[in-house]
Amino acid sequence: MSVFASAAQRIEAELQPDPDWWRGAVIYQIYPRSFQDSNGDGIGDLAGIRQRLPYIANLGADAIWISPFFTSPMKDFGYDVSDYKGVDPMFGSLEDFRVLVDDAHHHGLKVMIDLVISHTSDQHPWFAESRSNRENHKADWYVWADPKPDGSPPNNWLSIFGGSAWEWDTNRRQYYMHNFLTSQPDLNFHNPEVQDALLNVVRFWLELGVDGFRLDTINFYFHSQTLKDNPPLPPEVRNASIAPEVNPYNYQDHLYDKSQPENIEFLKRFRAVLDEFPATAAVGEVGDAQRGLEILAQYTAGNDRIHMCYSFDFLAPDPITADKVRTVIEEFEREAPDGWSCWAFSNHDVVRHATRWGAYERDPERYLKVVAALLFTMRGSVCIYQGEELGLPEADIGYEDLQDPYGIRFWPKFKGRDGARTPMVWASNLLNGGFSTGKPWLPVPDIHRAMAVDTQIGREGSIYEFYRDFLEFRHEYQVLSKGGIRFVDAPEDVVAFLREDGDVTLLCAFNLGHGEVEFSPGMKVARLENVPLDGEVDGGKIKLKALGGFIGRVKSH
C-alpha cells in the first residue's frame, strides 16, 4: 500500500505546477501589432501569435509576455486602455485569447500579459463618469486638482511625453494628471475603490488562465497628495534612461509624482490575489532614472510583494561595459539579497541594443552573441524582445511613416519608438518578410528581410542558432536559472563571475573588448564542452578571444 501511495504522490507532484517557474525563466516579449498578421490587414493579431507559438517554444523560451491587446483607441497603441476586460477587435476576440492560452500551455509556454493600470484612456467609461462633474460616484477615481489662483497648473510636474503633466477639463474646471499623453489620465490609487476595481481586473484574467503579468510603469501608481513641486535636477546627474535628452522631463528629480511609499501596500494586495492562483507571477517595470535599483529592491523584497522587476539600467543609451554590469548587479544584490530581478537589453520602448550599443560598427554577430551569453548567465530572469534573437538593428523610419506620438513630438532629435516596433521578419523572399499579405502598419526594412527567420534557422553560426543552443545549455544547468552570483576580479573589458548552487559552481567570463585577453581566476576550472563559446583554459589561465566568452565548472579540489 505504501508503494502505491508513494507512486501516487510522485504522479501528483509531477502534475502540480511549479510555483517557482518564474525564477530564472526566459520570457519572450511579443509586440502583437508587429508579430504576425493572420488576416491581411497589416496589423498583427492573436491568431498570428498562435501560429508562431512553435517557433517560440523551439527557441527555448519558458514564457511569452504579450504587450497590450485590450480594447483601446490606440492613441498609444494599447497602452491607453478603454476596457480592461475586452480584446480590441483588431487583435481578435476573448475566445481567440482563450484558445491562445490553451495552445501556449500545450507547447509548454507560460502566458504573461501586459497590465497597464497606472492610467486609462480618456475614453474609458470610468473617466467619462469622473469628468462629468465633481459629485459623481467616480469623481475621485482619477487625479484631479484645482488650478493655482492665476489659472496655471497645480504644480510643475511634467509628462514623459512632453509638456505639463496636467490637462485642463472644462466640465469640472479642474486639471487632471497624466504622466503620458493628455488622453491617458492617471488613476487615483489613494482611493481604495480604484484599487478594488483593478484587482478585480487582475482576477478576471487569472481566471481565464494567464500565468502572470508584466506591470507597466509599476512605480507610477501613486502620487504625493501634497502636490509639492519636484525639485530641479543638477545637469551633471541628469539621466536619459527613462526619457531622451531632449525631453525636459530629465530636468526634475521626480520625488513627488511617482515612486511613493504607499505603493508597497498596494503591491501586497496585488500579490495576495496572485497567490490565490497556483504558480502565477508578475514582473514590474520600474521607471526611475535616479533610484531604479533601490525601488526594484523594495518592490521585490520578501514573498509578499512583486515577484520580480526590471529597471532601465541595461536599457539606457550608453553601451554596456564590464564595470557597469558588475556595478549594477552587485548593487542590486546588496540592496535586495532576497529580491529578484528580470534583466533585458531591448524592448518595445527603446532603441534595439544591436544599434544602441554600436554593435554594427565591428563584427556585429560576434558582439551580439557575447552579450546574449552574458544576459543568459546573469542572476535573474530574462526578457527577450521579438527579433532580438535574429540580431535585428533599429529600423530607420522616415517622418512620413511615423506612428508613435512620442517620436512625432520630439522629432528629429528623438525619433520615437517605431524603429524598435517594425514587423517581425519570417521569410526573406515573401512580401513584407512574411508578416502580412497587406500593407504593414509600419514598413519592413530591407536589412531586416535579409536577416529573416528562414535565413537563420538551421544555419550554423547564425545568431538565432546561437540563442537556441545557449538556451538549451541554460536549461541543462539549474545553477544558471536559480543559483547565486559572485564576481571575480578580471581585466578591464572582462565580466567574470561565479554562479553557485549547492555543489555546482560555474565560472562565466565574457570579453567585451576587441583584443585577446587572458587572466587567472585563482581557481581550478574545467571548460564545459557543450557551451557555444570559444574561450579556453590553459595552465590555470582563462584565454578569451576578442568578443569571446568562457564557461567552466569550478573543481572542488
> Residues 472-525: pLDDT tens digits?
999 999 999 999 999 999 999 999 999 999 999 999 999 999 999 999 999 999
Measured CA angle at 544 (ends 344, 464), to 5 deg:
40
Residue 449 · residue 428 · CB < 8 Å:
yes
User: Which residues constitute the domain of residue 526?
Assistant: 484-554
Q: What is the DSSP letter of 47?
A: H
Tell whether 255 and 367 lie within a shared domain. Answer: yes
Decide if 136 is inside a domain: no
Tell whether 367 and 502 lie within a shared domain. Answer: no
Phi/psi at 17 (5° precision): -65, 145
For the record, the C-alpha cell of 336 comes out as 535586495
Verify whether residue 216 is a known catalytic residue: yes
Tell whether 540 and 410 lie within a shared domain. Answer: no
Decide if 134 is inside a domain: no
Tell whether 376 and 505 lie within a shared domain. Answer: no
The torsion defined by the Cα of 195, 153, 167 and 179, in degrees rounded to 10, comes to: -50
Give the active site residue among 62, 88, 216, 349: 216
The count of other CB atoms within 10 Å of the CB of residue 252 is 18
Tell whether 221 and 303 lie within a shared domain. Answer: yes
> Residues 346-401: pLDDT tens digits?
999 999 999 999 866 779 999 999 999 999 999 999 999 999 999 999 999 999 99
CA distances, 158 to each of 148, 231, 321 (Å): 16, 12, 32
Verify whether residue 276 is a known catalytic residue: yes
> Which amino acid belongs to residue 169?
D
Q: Which helix (H) or strand (E) holds 55?
A: helix 46-59
Give the active site residue among 265, 276, 304, 472: 276
Q: Where are the alpha helices (DSSP H) in 114-209?
A: 125-130, 192-207
Residue 77's Cα: distance from chain center in Å? 16
- Sorted by sequence, the CB contacts under 8 Å of residue 13 that are 6+ apart come out as none
User: Alpha-carbon distance 342 to 355, whole Å?
Assistant: 22
Residues of the chain with pLDDT under 70: 1-15, 359-360, 557
Measured CA angle at 305 (ends 62, 339), to 5 deg:
65
Tell whether 535 and 425 lie within a shared domain. Answer: no
- Sorted by sequence, the CB contacts under 8 Å of residue 391 that are 6+ apart come out as 354, 359, 364, 365, 368, 451, 463
Q: Residue 63: CA atoms inside 13 Å, Cβ hemisphere, count? A: 27
Decide if 447 is inside a domain: yes
Q: Is 461 left (phi over 0), alpha (psi -120 to 50) or beta?
A: left
How high is the pLDDT of residue 294?
92
Q: Residue 162: CA atoms inside 13 Å, Cβ hemisphere, count? A: 13
Strands 174-177 and 144-145: antiparallel
Strands 381-385 and 342-344: parallel
The torsion defined by the Cα of 238, 242, 243 and 245, in degrees rounded to 10, comes to: 30
Q: Where are the alpha helices (DSSP H) in 253-363?
A: 263-274, 292-300, 322-335, 353-356
Decide if 236 is inside a domain: yes
How high is the pLDDT of residue 84?
98
Cell numbers 517560440: residue: 56
User: Alpha-carbon distance 34 to 420, whole Å?
Assistant: 10
Measured CA angle at 293 (ends 218, 488), to 5 deg:
145
Decide if 345 is inside a domain: yes
Decide if 340 is inside a domain: yes
Among the listed residues 346, 281, 268, 349, the one whose alpha carbon sits nearest the alpha carbon of residue 314: 346
For the record, the C-alpha cell of 339 comes out as 529580491
Tell whether 280 and 394 lie within a shared domain. Answer: yes
The count of other CB atoms within 10 Å of the CB of residue 472 is 13
User: Alpha-carbon distance 327 to 306, whole Å?
Assistant: 23
Tell whether 470 and 502 lie within a shared domain. Answer: no
Residue 296's Cα: distance from chain center in Å? 13
Percent helix, percent strand, percent coil in the chain, to nearest 5: 30, 20, 50
Tell whether 420 and 538 lie within a shared domain. Answer: no
Looking at the structure of the chain, the number of domains it has is: 2
- Sorted by sequence, the CB contacts under 8 Å of residue 342 that are 6+ apart come out as 27, 283, 308, 309, 310, 380, 381, 382, 383
Q: Which helix (H) or strand (E) holds 6?
A: helix 2-15
How high is the pLDDT of residue 58?
98
* DSSP sequence for 357-391: TTGGGS-HHHHHHHHHHHHHHSSSEEEEETTGGGT
Tell whether 422 and 293 lie within a shared domain. Answer: yes
How high is the pLDDT of residue 557?
59
- Sorted by sequence, the CB contacts under 8 Å of residue 339 that are 6+ apart come out as 296, 297, 299, 300, 301, 308, 332
SS3 404: coil
Tell whether 469 and 490 lie within a shared domain. Answer: no
Residue 81 · residue 181 · CB < 8 Å:
no
Tell whether 437 and 378 lie within a shared domain. Answer: yes
- Select from 432, 450, 474 the last residue of a domain: 474
Burial class (CB in 10 A: 0-12, 13-18, 19+), 492: exposed
Strands 504-511 and 549-554: antiparallel
- Select from 436, 454, 474 the last residue of a domain: 474
CATH, residue 211: 3.20.20.80
User: Alpha-carbon distance 164 to 178, whole Å?
Assistant: 9
SS3 288: coil
- Select from 436, 455, 474 the last residue of a domain: 474
Decide if 133 is inside a domain: no
CATH, residue 515: 2.60.40.1180
Decide if 171 is inside a domain: no
How high is the pLDDT of residue 3?
43
